[in-house]
Structure 1
Amino acid sequence: MESPSLLEVLQVQEIDELILPSIKYIFAYFTHRYPRHLLRVYNSLDDFYNVLKVVIEYRSLKKWNCTSVERRFQLKRVKYVKNAESLASLFPEEVNSAVKLSQMGILTKIFLSYCAPYLISKFNTLSDSTRFLELNINYNTEHNSTESEGHGRPSVFRTFCSKILSKLKRLSTILKFTFQLASKFYKNLRWIYYLLFALGIIPFSNPVDHLLKQRLVYDTRISNITSEKAPNLYALPSLLDNSMNIFLSLVQVLDWWQTNDYATQIKKGRVAFTELEPPELSVKNTSLTKNICRICGHTIKNPAVLTTGFVFCYPCIQSWLKDNPFICPVTKLNLIRKENSFWRIMV
């Protein structure tokens, strides 16, 4: 069981953390245009997303032993068993059964990774709203106290509210300080785990995985998403299983389109592929050779796509662009996005 590199683990975490901001950015754009219909949805977006995220990740962990983002990188979660690699050749069935995630492990993973951060963020929001409530009640108590002083009797409401608010404020301050201290400690501890994981000292990339005795490994048995049989996307289970992959692909396409500013360039006629006709494909370009790299002539491994739309081996296109900067090997056209002219395909 080969473990992924630290960069791949960080990339998985980064993509997972960017999903909610991306959704909120898209909703903010449409909410600005249609505030009457979408404002309530936008204000409750965190709640809807967390519920949907828990459902999707539970199905993914139950079915594939990995989260939806980890599945995209062909990774899976297994329980840590000492000397599992050496025992797998002797007792394959027993080892596979031992490393498989249990129901309790899946539920604990979901709670610590998704429910706990959500509850902490809700507590921070509640503490901020408590300050506003304190200001509002202070104003009301001052107003009531002036009326009570005019009538010559003490304000019972003011005394009761001041006691409740003082206790809530003290409890909120203690909890908030505890959460801040724990958050700083966890961030520093996570960097220590990153260092130990990169050096190969421990098989766990973060404290949560260490607590659950779960580790990430490559899973070549996860079929390529592009080569799977097309499921019925209108069925709810299939829609939930593939929703995260569809959304991530959509975000990548939108980022590519927005970064290159193709909408403006097409209007001005500055896009290279609008100036020339598509290249004529030879007779050899049949369905039998579509997986062949145009540079090395072998089956594409570790694919990377160029801005012109052709797919090559990642090492091949990297070395080609060093010798032939910003030129497509097939079309011989100059590449527009010279800084990032190709991307590695993670499937």
Structure 2
Amino acid sequence: MEFMSNISGVDESKPSLFELLSETQLRELLEPSLRYLLAVATHRHPRYLIRILNRYDEVYALLMLLVERHYLSRWGGSFTENFYGLKRERVIAAQVPRAQRVVPGLVAESTKLKKADVWKSLFVIVGVPYLKRRLDDAYENFAGGAAANMLGAGYRRDDLPEDATPKQKFIYYLKAFIRTVYPYINAAFYWSNLIFNLAYLFDKSQYHSPLDFLIGVRMRRLTEADHRAFELAAAPKPSSNAPFTMRSLLTPSIISRIIIPKMLDSLKVLLPTSIFFLKFLEWWHASDFARQLSAKTAASIELPPPIPVRPPAPEEELEEEGVMKALVKVVEEDTGLCPVCEREITNPTAVQTGYVFCYPCVFRWVQDGIGRDGDEEGAENRKGRCPVTGVRLLGGAEGLRRLMI
């Protein structure tokens, strides 16, 4: 692999294909990772995040447009490319490797991305992946997915009515185009990527991607001249002697020129930290030490057995050692009804004391302390306790277990 990564042996600034593939893989992992984190957060706070999750593709594209534009303008490469020590540069026909060694600063300045090159790169890095995700989703919906694979080409989910409006005709033919033509376009895109990768690997092309070839931009390693230019650009500039105040720091010019760029640059530290934390979690869950520690922790938790059914009595308060008083429900006999609502149990859910309730009833009781028919009197005393025994439940509502019957 070392031989293949340096097959040309001449241009030291040319990154290997394996570096570029690693960078591409990391970039493709960002979108599903953030989607998963947003989905988990939406599950806990749906009221605030469900709209963002429903428009995730657009929100992610706008977010990456902001991030990638900053990195392309300041560092000469995208977020993940800068993480791998890579940059993008314009291709100059007269450029030779010897000029790079003799006057690297002049060559770096002449090949630096212009404003038009930044926007072209943004289209390749952000726009094309967004369009591809949307087209993939549209093909899955319009082509029928698994149903079309089983039923064959005759499967159709919609037909064009005789009195169709122009809008209906446009949508119908668009669906037909995506069903029939898009698979070939997608295949051509992947085959062209493979051809460019092989040509780049054997030093037959200076572009590893057909999209980079179309916009005239190639990938290079960051050089010492690049790092000196970055340090010079980041050096503090002389300013007026006017004292800084909180009001001056919150002006739009300071926020756009200093605060937002600093926040975006901090992503360079956040990404490797997140990768390290993820790898640590993978090691932790795969190690014997974690399993042994989990087993010892589980063995040290001794749950009390269910308290025997007590004689009939009205609702009363049960006082435990060292805990607050909690209103409990006294079960007269084993009737098979929910002890909270006193109706037939639906969606049965067990608690750690061994009793079974309706899931909505026990969840409201444990989570918010709400009793039968929305009774909120004494809610603070009921919260987090078993409705029958009054025993404090480990984990609160997280400790509820639904039963599959």
Q: TM-score range by the shorter chain?
A: 0.5 to 0.7
TM-superposed CA distance for 1:95, in Å, is 2.2
Query: Partners of 1:124 and 1:160 in 2: how far apart?
Result: 30
**Which residue identity is paired with 1:241?**
D
Spell out, residue by residue over 1:207-235, the C-alpha distance to the aligned partner (whole angstroms, 9 max, x if none).
112222222222143669xx9x9x99992
Query: Partners of 1:200 and 1:268 in 2: how far apart?
Result: 55
Runs of 4+ in 1 over 6 A off after TM superposition: 127-132, 135-138, 231-234
- Using the size of structure 2 for normalisation, the TM-score is 0.52
Query: Partners of 1:163 and 1:131 in 2: how far apart?
Result: 22
SS of 1:252 mapped into structure 2? helix
Query: Partners of 1:193 and 1:127 in 2: how far apart?
Result: 26
The alpha-carbon distance between structure 1 residues 95 and 161, as it changes in their structure 2 partners (threshold 3 A), is same
Which residue matches 1:115? Answer: 127
Query: Partners of 1:39 and 1:159 in 2: how far apart?
Result: 39
Query: Partners of 2:91 and 2:270 in 1: how far apart?
Result: 31
Query: Partners of 1:131 and 1:76 in 2: how far apart?
Result: 39
SS of 1:215 mapped into structure 2? strand
Query: Partners of 1:84 and 1:103 in 2: how far apart?
Result: 24
Query: Partners of 1:17 and 1:90 in 2: how far apart?
Result: 37
Spell out the pairing of 1:19-38 with structure 2 (5 A cutoff).
Answer: 19-38=30-49
SS of 1:77 mapped into structure 2? strand
Residue segments in structure 2 that go unaligned for 5+ positions in a row: 1-11, 145-155, 237-248, 250-254, 298-405
Larger Rg computed on CA atoms? 2
TM-superposed CA distance for 1:66, in Å, is 0.8
Spell out, residue by residue over 1:145-168, the C-alpha distance to the aligned partner (whole angstroms, 9 max, x if none).
xxxxxxxxxxxxx75446643442
1:69 aligns with 2:72: no
How many residues are matched?
246
Which residue matches 2:17? Answer: 6
Query: Partners of 1:240 and 1:251 in 2: how far apart?
Result: 18
| RMSD (CA atoms) | 3.7
Moved more, 188-197 or 260-269: 260-269
TM-superposed CA distance for 1:43, in Å, is 1.7
Which residue matches 1:237? Answer: 261
SS of 1:3 mapped into structure 2? coil
| 8 Å CA contact retained: 1:50, 1:114 | yes
- Indicate which of 179, 183, 188 corresponds to 2:186: 183
Spell out the pairing of 1:157-306 with structure 2 (5 A cutoff).
Answer: 160-161=163-164, 164-221=167-224, 235-243=259-267, 245-261=269-285, 264=291, 266-268=293-295
Which residue matches 1:18? Answer: 29
TM-superposed CA distance for 1:204, in Å, is 1.3
Residue segments in structure 1 that go unaligned for 5+ positions in a row: 142-157, 271-347
| 8 Å CA contact retained: 2:85, 2:222 | yes
Query: Partners of 1:29 and 1:16 in 2: how far apart?
Result: 21
TM-superposed CA distance for 1:55, in Å, is 0.9
- Using the size of structure 1 for normalisation, the TM-score is 0.60
The alpha-carbon distance between structure 1 residues 128 and 205, as it changes in their structure 2 partners (threshold 3 A), is closer
**Which residue identity is paired with 2:280?**
W
**Which residue identity is paired with 2:187?**
K
Spell out the pairing of 1:81-96 with structure 2 (5 A cutoff).
Answer: 81-82=92-93, 83-89=95-101, 91-96=103-108
SS of 1:235 mapped into structure 2? helix
The alpha-carbon distance between structure 1 residues 94 and 177, as it changes in their structure 2 partners (threshold 3 A), is farther
| 8 Å CA contact retained: 1:56, 1:241 | no
Query: Partners of 1:35 and 1:115 in 2: how far apart?
Result: 28
TM-superposed CA distance for 1:206, in Å, is 1.0
The alpha-carbon distance between structure 1 residues 95 and 23, as it changes in their structure 2 partners (threshold 3 A), is same
Which residue matches 1:56? Answer: 67
TM-superposed CA distance for 1:73, in Å, is 1.2
| 8 Å CA contact retained: 2:138, 2:178 | no
TM-superposed CA distance for 1:34, in Å, is 3.3
Higher RCO (CA 8 Å, separation ≥ 6 residues):
1
Which residue matches 1:102? Answer: 114
TM-superposed CA distance for 1:113, in Å, is 2.5
Which residue matches 1:329? Answer: none
Query: Partners of 2:116 and 2:271 in 1: how far apart?
Result: 29
Which residue matches 2:369? Answer: none
TM-superposed CA distance for 1:91, in Å, is 4.9
Query: Partners of 1:202 and 1:131 in 2: how far apart?
Result: 37
Decide which structure has greater helix share.
1
